[in-house]
Structure 1
Amino acid sequence: MRTDFTKMHGLGNDFIVLDARERALPPVSARFGAALADRRTGIGCDQLILLEPAGSDAADFRMRIFNADGSEVEACGNATRAIGLLHGQPARIETVAGVLTTEPSDAGIAVDMGQPNLEWDRIPLAYAMDTLSLPVGWEELEAPVAVNVGNPHVIFFVPDTDAVELERLGPLIENDPLFPERINVNVATIENRQTIRLRVWERGAGLTRACGTGACATAIAAMRRGLTDRRVTVRLPGGDLSIGWGDDKRITMAGPATESFRGTFEWDLYA
């Protein structure tokens, strides 16, 4: 079956988008997702995005997200901005993490990411502990903050994020038994009260040029510790995101998204 796709990215975090809102597609398996995401033998991406009809009147359509290893995840901030751009108008997008809303902004696309989950069992962690400063460490990375913004994150504040061997430590932390659903790993450096530098090891995807939920989680962690103001610029290797945390506890994220190209592929070659 010949299938259309759109290739998009948010600050270099790239996606293959399949649109099944009007024409149904075969089920997406973990094997299919991983094969299509392979950068040598597939199209190549950090995440595969599947658009489907919404399950209720609360949303305009549904978005499902598959990491490069084929695992399905709850949320992706960069993908949400990309789909907001693709949709071309304000949208209510149903995800496993809840309904997210998007609209055009001066920075590109703005997303209401909802309220963060800060309780240990909502991250989730394997057992109870203070999520503002977990009493654990992996070599020089110690006492992280844990935040769930639709998917789980730990955030380490370090003097120089570029000096951390994240490609080595990331998978160790991601797969630690403390995190029953695995974890996204963020290493951040506070430049001033309005600016954070950030690198992210994304569960199921590895090092990424940008991670929207990671930027949100890191900003919330910095704000909870009193390190920054309530609106910050998060600088990732792929570019900048603007993150705010309002008095209503809802997170807003704004930044660019880009359509790269469109094409077709033969579904059965990857099934």
Structure 2
Amino acid sequence: MANSRQFATVSQLELFKYQALGNDYLILDLPGPLDELVAVLPELCDRHRGLGSDGLLAFDPHAMSVRIFNPDRSEAQKSGNGLRIIAAHAVLDHGAGDAFELATADRSNAVRVLERNGAEVVTELDIGRPSFRAADLPADFPGEPEHVDLDTPAGRVQAVLVSVGNPHCVVFDQAVTRERCLELGPHLEVHPAFPERTNVQLCEVVDRARVRAEIWERGAGYTLASGTSASAVAAACMRRNLVESHVTVQMPGGDLRLHREANGNLVQAGPARRVYRALIELSDFDASATRAE
């Protein structure tokens, strides 16, 4: 699956854009000018001044590995939608087969292709076993991660803290609306309990097979959908015995199906679609720009 494309200059490079449930990412195939591209990410990801994106996926097709960057230039530990996007990219643009592994910073992630339909690929992704240990998030607070009260300028919340390779704060006692997520998300992301910041979800159990969620992502802000957030919501609800071992998480961008394996690992299944490929001039973007709120 070697990448034979060559860049015309250091400034000019090819990018792909993919989306999964409305969560969209730009993809850079390595080798490529990664440091230079990360420097201009705030403007490049801006939906008014740039291409518009929830982040960047840097994919090494030889190692089958991926690094994930937020619009604020910070590097993310994991993205479920991002991994399914890279899986689709590996299939559509690099000739990957129906089963393979994708490496992230924390682990190797098993991928199985379920459907191929033009520019869309549906995959099943093993996200790993959730952890409710404070040290794994990390988090610093009195009490147990499964029952946490957190005070913010926008009010007190009751939450479950869980890691699925990255940290999540799953809130159960708030209105599951975009407006409330925009109020609470910025405060919870940088709450003193989370020395490395956190992702935030507001969730509501519809029944034992369905959960609704609104999402605020660390380093990216309000997001229509997130694979790791959906996994965290499912894990928290299963931990509290609010849902069965097969559950659908409903997000503004779409639904994601998840189930828990006998070994405790969570597996998610959902689509990812190629939107376009583009050739850009890197010099057109400003490295001094900051993330637009």
Q: Give the TM-score, by structure 1 length.
A: 0.91
Checking the alignment, whether the CA contact within 8 Å between 1:120 and 1:128 is kept in structure 2 is: no
Q: What is the SS of the residue equivalent to 1:27?
A: helix
| Residue range with higher mean Cα deviation, 3-12 or 24-33 | 24-33
Offset, 1:269: 2.9
Offset, 1:8: 0.5
| Residue range with higher mean Cα deviation, 25-34 or 240-249 | 25-34
One of 70, 73, 83 as aligned partner of 2:73: 70
Q: What is the SS of the residue equivalent to 1:143?
A: strand
- Structure 1 pair 128/160, CA: closer, same or farther in 2 (3 Å)? closer
Report the residue type matching 2:65 in the other structure.
Answer: R
One of 189, 203, 218 as aligned partner of 1:174: 189
The aligned counterpart of 1:41 is 49
CA distance in 1, matches of 2:61, 2:90: 13
- Number of paired residues? 264
Offset, 1:97: 2.5
Q: What is the SS of the residue equivalent to 2:186?
A: helix
Structure 1 gaps of 5+ residues are 55-59
| Within-5 A mapping of 1:1-12 | 1-12=11-22
One of 262, 269, 285 as aligned partner of 1:247: 262
Offset, 1:158: 3.4
Structure 2 gaps of 5+ residues are 1-10, 92-96, 116-120, 288-293
One of 10, 14, 20 as aligned partner of 2:24: 14
The aligned counterpart of 2:280 is 265
CA distance in 1, matches of 2:216, 2:26: 20
Checking the alignment, whether the CA contact within 8 Å between 2:248 and 2:256 is kept in structure 1 is: yes
CA distance in 2, matches of 1:189, 1:26: 39
Q: What is the SS of the residue equivalent to 2:35?
A: coil
Q: What is the SS of the residue equivalent to 1:213?
A: helix
Q: What is the SS of the residue equivalent to 1:85?
A: helix
The aligned counterpart of 1:132 is 146
One of 128, 134, 159 as aligned partner of 1:120: 134
Offset, 1:30: 4.6
CA distance in 2, matches of 1:132, 1:124: 14
Cα deviations across residues 152-172 of structure 1 (Å, max 9, x unaligned)? Answer: 001011364127611121101
Identity of counterpart residues, as a percentage? Answer: 32
Q: Give the TM-score, by structure 2 length.
A: 0.85
The aligned counterpart of 2:290 is none
Report the residue type matching 1:230 in the other structure.
Answer: S
CA distance in 2, matches of 1:93, 1:38: 28
**Superposition RMSD in Å:** 1.9
CA distance in 2, matches of 1:200, 1:72: 19
One of 101, 104, 110 as aligned partner of 2:110: 101
Report the residue type matching 1:91 in the other structure.
Answer: F
| Residue range with higher mean Cα deviation, 245-254 or 187-196 | 245-254
- Structure 1 pair 26/211, CA: closer, same or farther in 2 (3 Å)? closer
The aligned counterpart of 1:57 is none
Report the residue type matching 1:69 in the other structure.
Answer: D
Offset, 1:110: 0.7
